[in-house]
Amino acid sequence: MLNFSKINILFIYFLLIFISIFSFLNFQNENDQLIKKKINLGLDLQGGSYLLLEINSDSLVKEKIQSKVIPIKKLLKDNQINYKNFKINEKNLSLSIDNIEKFDLLFNSRKDNLVNPYIDNYRSYELEYKKIDNFRIEISFSKFGLLTINNSALKQSIEIVRRRIDDVGTKEPTILQRGEKRILVELPGLKDPERIKSLLGKTAQLNFRLVSDNKEFGTDELTSENGVKLNVSKRIIMSGENLIDAQPSIQNQNNEPTVSFTLDRLGAQKFGRATTDNVGKRLAIVLDGEIVSAPNINEPITSGNGMISGNFTFQEATDLALLLRSGALPTPLIVVEERTVGPDLGEDSIKSGVKSLIVGFILVILFMLYKYKIFGLIANTALIANLLMLIGVLTILEATLTLPGIAGIILTVGMAVDANVLIFERIREELKTEKSIIHAFDSGYKRAKITVLDANITTLIAAIILFAFGSGPVKGFAITLGIGIITTLFTAYFLARHLTSLVVLNTKNKEIKI
Amino acid sequence: MTNYNFSSKFKHANIFSIVLFFISIIFIIFKGLNYGIDFKGGTLIELRSNNIEASSIRDVLKTMDLGDVNVKKFGKEGDFIIKVEQKGDNNELIPKIKNNLSNSLNSDVNFRRVENVGPKVSAELLQSGIIAISLSLAAMLFYIWVRFEWQFSIGSIIALFHDVIITLGIFSLLSLEINLSIIAAVLTIVGYSMNDTVVIYDRIRENLGKFHKLDISDTANLSINETLARTIITSVTTLLALFSIFILGGEILRGFSFAMILGVIIGTYSSIFVASPILKYFKVSYKTIEKEEEKIVP
């Protein structure tokens, strides 16, 4: 165990130096770095905001099933199937029909089926029906239909969230899908996420509808900006999809902040026609089911430009313009988890983390020197190499360092010496029975090997499980702990062993104390 | 090498452990664990301000009708932690609390940390925490079962339960908060305690093969003594590192490092006084390991 071939030695020191070099990249100025690799600081260290958003697809399912009502009724009428008791429920439609066989044929036909399209990806129809009795059926989305709705809503939401956050202009945001319903947003350096939260909390579904004088069929009663209830036609003249731009502006007449918008060609046509036909009536601008304002149509607007006023502050006008530019979210987003750390707390955490690392490190080094003298020096050299390699590997992986991650490094310092302690203690025992010092060292390393492996694998198992199940900062702990074990094994079994062999082989036959 | 007679103290130590274990379980069941917002849901706000008292923060929050509110000093003078146990997702609650505090306290308030965990997420976090701990115990059991004989496997798992339950029992007794980092600590304790046990077990197995005439008590005793220096030195260096986190690492890591300190002490104790005697109760002898070897190499 004490003989090293030249290739072995070359390999050990090459790997050691190669990996350790990376650790120094973290202390360099970013601009004159050749290799742009660095350990990222977690949000708990650099400050920032972590948000976990969840889409609510229930409301979407309700909306979508309602949109199926007219096509289904048309299908039945066109094919002379009589129906009665058509009911619209939260998640399904129920009705009685006189010819289920015929309906089944139409409903599950693959050709030109606009009512119930076939989803090729999942080999399944969007809708399914089940018989309640001989005449009554219940139509709902199939498992894969629901999945499709959910997935497209999630994808669309991620896109809109990205646009809104980019528009606000925070640095290096992370926006990722998490599971089936969630979006993870990380905003480094952001001190107050309230504005972003309120921007993400609004779906921003905008539409223009005429105000109706009486409460006739086909109107909704909506509340306007000054609390007055107005009857608004259900018919949508134009919606936010037709907007190509929106900007905040100040109206010259009374210095009021407003949002001016530009419509696409189709939108301009629709808007032009509606305003021409309805001069003198009031046009309600409805955002997320509330009337923002309901101005009078004084003259036809055919230019495709318009303006929304509604007693905004300039900030509100800016935010509304941003929301309209970025498009509407398919469903409201709920913040299900939020963690925000201010930059000063992050700095404090780094300071105290580094301080405890240095103190812990010095204490361990002094203790080892006291316990093992010259071999303590070897163990300490291995420990320093270990630390450099650990930081080097973290840099190569561009891992995220968190406060628990720093704790993991300190803990590694405390536990890393264990491998060398196990070996040295074993050698001590071997020296008692073995006459040849070299043999004693040799068999000490040999015999301790399995124990060292066994002992470290158990901690490695714990680290891997923690990595798989932990979230956020705790994951950072699992990373440093896990990598620390591997670098520990390397430094104890290769570096320290080689250093030991140098000491032992150069003091032949003389007394060696350990 | 030391020559303490550990095996003569096994009986007393085991009674002590059993008593401690059941007291811990009683505490965990009847007093319960003090779950933080990670597992219970709710809002946490850490703030720093000059010349304010916890009572004035409490007074401001009282007017807001938030339900169960907890205000505590946190580390340095002027640092406070507020915990609000609110159910349901309420996106507007945090800005409201922040505004009210900024306006009502006659002092600059620096909101250093805000955490809000919804009920769904907290339930999931608790579940995955429990799964992680169970899985790590199962993985250790499996590893030891592969590497050693089944008696060793059971001995080490009992020692692990002993460590985890007593650590949690002390957390319950002292009403310390259980959050995500405590789960990390418990898992690390599992790894550390296992590590300690494996070192002694390795030696016991080696000595069983070497000295057929010694019975298991004497073998255990010899093995513990042989590895005692290592056990103590490693515990000391680990504790040195942990105490430096505990004292200098800041308020956020305090719970974590405290749990780890407890775990290292209890884990070291259990490797000697719990894991080893169990081999004796299973009447492990050199025949046990020989039989196993026959099985592996037919």
Same structural domain, B200 and B113: no
**Closest alpha carbon within chain B to A479:** B184
Same structural domain, B231 and B171: yes
Calpha distance A508→A345 (Å, rounded): 56
Q: Nearest-CA distance from B282 to chain A in Å?
A: 23
Note the pLDDT tens digit of each residue in A437-484.
888 899 999 999 988 998 899 889 989 998 998 877 788 899 999 999
Q: Considering chain A, what is the average pLDDT of its residues?
A: 88
B165 domain residue, yes or no: yes
Same structural domain, B58 and B149: no
Chain-chain contact of A466 with B129 (C-beta, under 8 angstroms): no
Same structural domain, B198 and B140: yes
B1 domain residue, yes or no: no
pLDDT band per the 50, 70, 90 thresholds, residue A491: very high
Question: What pLDDT shows up at residue B23?
Answer: 97
Which residue range is the domain that position B61 belongs to?
42-117
- Kindly report the length of chain B: 298
Which residues neighbour A149 within 8 Å (Cβ) at sequence distance 6 or greater? A57, A60, A61, A64, A141
Question: What pLDDT shows up at residue A375?
Answer: 92
Question: What pLDDT shows up at residue B260?
Answer: 95
Per the DSSP assignment, residues forming a β-bridge with B257 are: none
Residue in B234, B246, B271 to test binding to A, most A beta-carbons within 10 Å = B234
ipTM of the complex: 0.91
Q: Around Cβ A138, how many Cβ atoms within 10 Å?
A: 16
Calpha distance A153→A143 (Å, rounded): 15
The share of chain A scoring above pLDDT 90, in percent, equals: 42
B59 domain residue, yes or no: yes
Q: Which residues of A touch B76 (CB under 8 A)?
A: none
Chain-chain contact of A474 with B111 (C-beta, under 8 angstroms): no
Can you tell me which residue has the tokens 């900030």? Answer: A315
Examine the fold and report which residue of B79, B95, B117 is the final residue of a domain before the chain moves on. B117
> 3-class DSSP state for residue B36?
coil
Cα atoms in the 13 Å half-sphere on the side-chain side of A441: 25
pTM of the model: 0.87
Q: Which amino acid is at A414?
A: G
Task: List the alpha helices (DSSP H) in B148-253.
Answer: 150-173, 180-210, 216-248
Question: What pLDDT shows up at residue B90?
Answer: 63
Q: Around Cβ A241, how many Cβ atoms within 10 Å?
A: 13
Calpha distance A117→A478 (Å, rounded): 47
Q: Is the pLDDT of residue B245 over 70?
A: yes
Nearest to A361 by CA among A337, A336, A391: A391
**H/E element, B135:** helix B119-147
Minimum-distance CB partner of A337 among B117, B192, B199: B117
Which positions 188-207 of B are in contact with A (Cβ < 8 Å)? 188, 190-192, 194-196, 198-199, 202-203
Which positions 149-178 of B are in contact with A (Cβ < 8 Å)? none
Beginning with the edge strand found earlier in the chain, give each strand of the sheet holding B109-117 in spatial order: A174-178, A182-188, A48-55, A333-341, B109-117, B42-49, B79-84, B69-73
Q: Nearest-CA distance from A259 to chain B in Å?
A: 25
Q: Nearest-CA distance from B237 to chain A in Å?
A: 5
Q: Output Rg (C-alpha) for chain A, integer angstroms.
A: 35
Same structural domain, B105 and B186: no
Task: List the alpha helices (DSSP H) in A236-342.
Answer: 265-277, 314-326
Between B82 and A28, the higher pLDDT residue: B82
B78 domain residue, yes or no: yes
Q: Is the pLDDT of residue A333 over 60?
A: yes
Minimum-distance CB partner of A342 among B110, B120, B143: B110
Calpha distance B30→A353 (Å, rounded): 36
SS3 content of chain A, % helix, strand, coil (to 5): 55, 20, 25
Per the DSSP assignment, residues forming a β-bridge with A287 are: A206, A290
Report in angstroms the alpha-carbon separations of A239 from A60, A162, A319, A324, A456: 18, 21, 18, 10, 63
Q: Which residues of B touch A474 (CB under 8 A)?
A: 180-181, 183-184
Same structural domain, B128 and B223: yes
Question: What pLDDT shows up at residue B292?
Answer: 57
Calpha distance B144→A461 (Å, rounded): 12
Q: Is the pLDDT of residue B297 over 50?
A: no
Q: Around Cβ B8, how many Cβ atoms within 10 Å?
A: 10
User: Which has the minimum average pLDDT: A153-157, A170-174, A387-391, B274-278?
Assistant: A170-174
Which whole number is the average pLDDT over B70-95? Answer: 82
Q: Which residues of A touch B191 (CB under 8 A)?
A: 458-463
Residue in B244, B251, B260, B264 to test binding to A, most A beta-carbons within 10 Å = B244
Which whole number is the average pLDDT over A394-400? Answer: 93
Question: What pLDDT shows up at residue A189?
Answer: 86
User: Which has the minimum average pLDDT: A22-36, B90-104, B197-211?
Assistant: A22-36
Note the pLDDT tens digit of each residue in A36-56.
788 989 999 999 999 999 998
Same structural domain, B146 and B73: no
**H/E element, A461:** helix A437-469
CB B159, CB B271: distance < 8 Å: yes
B267 domain residue, yes or no: yes
* DSSP characters over A373-411: HHHHHHHHHHHHHHHHHHHHHHHHTTPEE-HHHHHHHHH
> 3-class DSSP state for residue B297?
coil
Calpha distance A395→A397 (Å, rounded): 5
Q: Nearest-CA distance from B116 to chain A in Å?
A: 5
Question: What pLDDT shows up at residue A115?
Answer: 83
* Chain A CB within 8 Å of residue B265 CB: no
CB A49, CB A193: distance < 8 Å: yes
Q: Which residues of B touch A456 (CB under 8 A)?
A: 195
The share of chain B scoring above pLDDT 90, in percent, equals: 63
CB B50, CB B65: distance < 8 Å: no
Note the pLDDT tens digit of each residue in A206-220.
989 988 877 666 788
CB A343, CB A44: distance < 8 Å: no
User: Which has the minimum average pLDDT: A25-39, A131-145, A266-280, B155-169?
Assistant: A25-39
B132 domain residue, yes or no: yes
Minimum-distance CB partner of A461 among B113, B140, B238: B140
Examine the fold and report which residue of B90, B117, B144 is the final residue of a domain before the chain moves on. B117
Long-range contacts of A438-443 (CB under 8 A, 24+ apart): A438/A2, A438/A504, A438/A505, A438/A508, A441/A1, A441/A2, A441/A500, A441/A501, A441/A504, A442/A1, A442/A2, A443/A1
Same structural domain, B154 and B250: yes
Nearest to A146 by CA among A57, A251, A30: A57
Q: Cα dihedral angle (A217, A221, A225, A227), rounded to 10 degrees?
A: 130
Rounded to the nearest 5 degrees, what angle is found at the Cα of B30, between the Cα atoms of B27 and B34?
70
Q: Nearest-CA distance from B283 to chain A in Å?
A: 23
Residue in A364, A454, A467 to test binding to B, most B beta-carbons within 10 Å = A454
Q: Is the pLDDT of residue B294 over 60?
A: no
Which residues neighbour A393 within 8 Å (Cβ) at sequence distance 6 or greater? A19, A22, A483, A486, A487
User: Which has the minimum average pLDDT: A29-38, B31-40, B239-248, B258-267?
Assistant: A29-38
Q: Which residues of A touch B240 (CB under 8 A)?
A: 360, 363-364, 367, 414
How many structural domains compose chain B?
Answer: 2
> Could you tell me how far CA B227 lies from the centroid of its own chain?
24
Same structural domain, B129 and B224: yes
* Chain A CB within 8 Å of residue B233 CB: yes
Calpha distance B123→B63 (Å, rounded): 29
> 3-class DSSP state for residue A433?
helix
B2 domain residue, yes or no: no
Same structural domain, B184 and B113: no
Which residues neighbour B289 within 8 Å (Cβ) at sequence distance 6 or greater? B149, B205, B208, B209
Same structural domain, B82 and B132: no
Calpha distance A196→A189 (Å, rounded): 13
Nearest to A108 by CA among A85, A127, A84: A127
Calpha distance A283→A280 (Å, rounded): 9
> Could you tell me how far CA B285 lies from the centroid of its own chain?
33
Question: What pLDDT shows up at residue B298?
Answer: 43
Chain-chain contact of B237 with A477 (C-beta, under 8 angstroms): no
B196 domain residue, yes or no: yes
Q: Which amino acid is at A227?
A: G
Q: Is the pLDDT of residue A506 over 60?
A: yes
pLDDT band per the 50, 70, 90 thresholds, residue A509: low
Residue in B91, B111, B189, B260 to test binding to A, most A beta-carbons within 10 Å = B91
Report in angstroms the alpha-carbon separations of B19 from B14, B114, B240: 8, 41, 29
Examine the fold and report which residue of B94, B117, B140 is the final residue of a domain before the chain moves on. B117
Same structural domain, B148 and B18: yes
* DSSP characters over A112-158: T-SSS-EETTTTEESEEEEESSSSEEEEEE-HHHHHHHHHHHHHHHH
Encoded tokens for A354: 């580094």
What CATH number is attached to the domain comprising B170? 1.20.1640.10
* Chain A CB within 8 Å of residue B235 CB: no
Which positions 114-143 of B are in contact with A (Cβ < 8 Å)? 114-118, 120-121, 125, 128-129, 131-132, 135-136, 139-140, 143
